[in-house]
Amino acid sequence: MEKQKTGQKSFVYGTRATLECINAGREIDKILVLKNLNNPLVQELLQAARDHKIPVQRVPVQKLQKYTRKNHQGVVCLLSSISYSSLDHVISQSYSQGQSPLIVVLDRITDVRNFGAIARSAECAGAHALVVPSKGSAQITEDAVKTSAGALNFIAVCRVPNLLNCIHELKAQGLQVVACTEKTHNLIYGGDYSPPTALIMGSEENGIDPKILEICDGRVKIPLMGNIDSLNVSVAAAVALYECARQRMP
């Protein structure tokens, strides 16, 4: 099937067309498959998705029809507007270049515009990569790239199957893991972010997963002096990133 667009989402539809995308190495955000659809070709597709660690979501027909009412055969494949990077490669490359890695981990950031704005701040502040989970994060559409002012064309984005495991791996590679959360008395200005650092930002609705908070090396918060009790997550990320940037300036 020919590549289609709806709004700012690029996609293909049909089981064989989706298999072709996987086999061709296309960057895929996720695959939507009709609930209870289990014919042999779909089983082949699901296995290919597992082999390539591509997220699959079972959905009702109404969700598929939001993308197309043509003969989608119960499958819609959402294509990414960027190429994903290996987190291990990003970190090892930073070390080999004599740099102190600065990684931004996004936990359950689902709003495309917030994601794009965070990417813009991260790239401008000198962060080396954004890390997102395979499930439960914003789809990286052309709208996200536009909101990032093109930053997503320059900063590495790493997709991982499990954020909790990723945090353990970051610590094993020598990074301190710092959570930006209201659940602390420690202000962000008291931390030292010149060493290799992973900064975690959580969603405005749910914050950072408690299991992730438990294993972080530190928790910091941004002081709030007005009547509103929280910042937009993209604004909070910018404040935190530029404190890191300030400390890292020669």
On whether both 70 and 101 belong to a single domain, the answer is no
Q: Which domain holds residue 203?
A: 87-248
Residue 242 burial class via C-beta count within 10 angstroms: exposed 0-12, middle 13-18, buried 19 and up:
middle
Taking alpha carbons only, the member of 130, 129, 143, 148 closest to residue 78 is 143
pLDDT at position 159: 92
The mean per-residue pLDDT over the stretch 24-40 comes to: 91
On whether both 123 and 206 belong to a single domain, the answer is yes
pLDDT at position 1: 43
The mean per-residue pLDDT over the stretch 11-38 comes to: 92
> How far apart (Å, rounded) are the C-alpha atoms in residues 236 and 222?
7
pLDDT at position 246: 97
Give me Rg for the CA atoms of the chain.
19
pLDDT digits (tens, 9 = 90+) for 194-244: 999 999 999 888 899 999 999 999 999 999 999 988 899 999 999 999 999
Which residues 6+ apart lie within 8 Å of 244 measured at CB? 102, 125, 127, 193, 197, 199
Which of 2-6, 14-18, 167-171, 227-231 is predicted least confidently?
Answer: 2-6
Which of 79, 99, 124 marks a domain boundary? Answer: 79
On whether both 123 and 235 belong to a single domain, the answer is yes
On whether both 18 and 65 belong to a single domain, the answer is yes
Return the ∠ at Cα 132 (arms to 107 and 38), rounded to 5°. Answer: 105
Which of 49, 79, 109 marks a domain boundary? Answer: 79
Q: Looking at the predicted structure, is the pLDDT value of residue 29 above 80?
A: yes
* CATH number, residue 24: 3.30.1330.30
Which of 79, 96, 122 marks a domain boundary? Answer: 79
* CATH number, residue 178: 3.40.1280.10
Number of domains in the chain: 2
pLDDT at position 27: 86
> How far apart (Å, rounded) are the C-alpha atoms in residues 6 and 20?
21
pLDDT at position 224: 93
On whether both 91 and 70 belong to a single domain, the answer is no
Taking alpha carbons only, the member of 64, 85, 66, 65 closest to residue 132 is 85
On whether both 37 and 105 belong to a single domain, the answer is no
Q: How confident is the model at residue 6 (pLDDT cuts 50, 70, 90)?
A: very low
pLDDT at position 80: 85
pLDDT at position 141: 77
pTM value surpassing 0.85: no
Q: Looking at the predicted structure, is the pLDDT value of residue 171 above 80?
A: yes
Q: How confident is the model at residue 109 (pLDDT cuts 50, 70, 90)?
A: very high
pLDDT at position 7: 43
pLDDT at position 9: 58
Taking alpha carbons only, the member of 164, 100, 98, 153 closest to residue 131 is 164
On whether both 72 and 91 belong to a single domain, the answer is no
The mean per-residue pLDDT over the stretch 85-99 comes to: 96
On whether both 133 and 242 belong to a single domain, the answer is yes
On whether both 128 and 219 belong to a single domain, the answer is yes
pLDDT digits (tens, 9 = 90+) for 44-88: 999 999 999 898 999 999 999 999 988 899 999 999 888 899 999
> How far apart (Å, rounded) are the C-alpha atoms in residues 85 and 51?
17
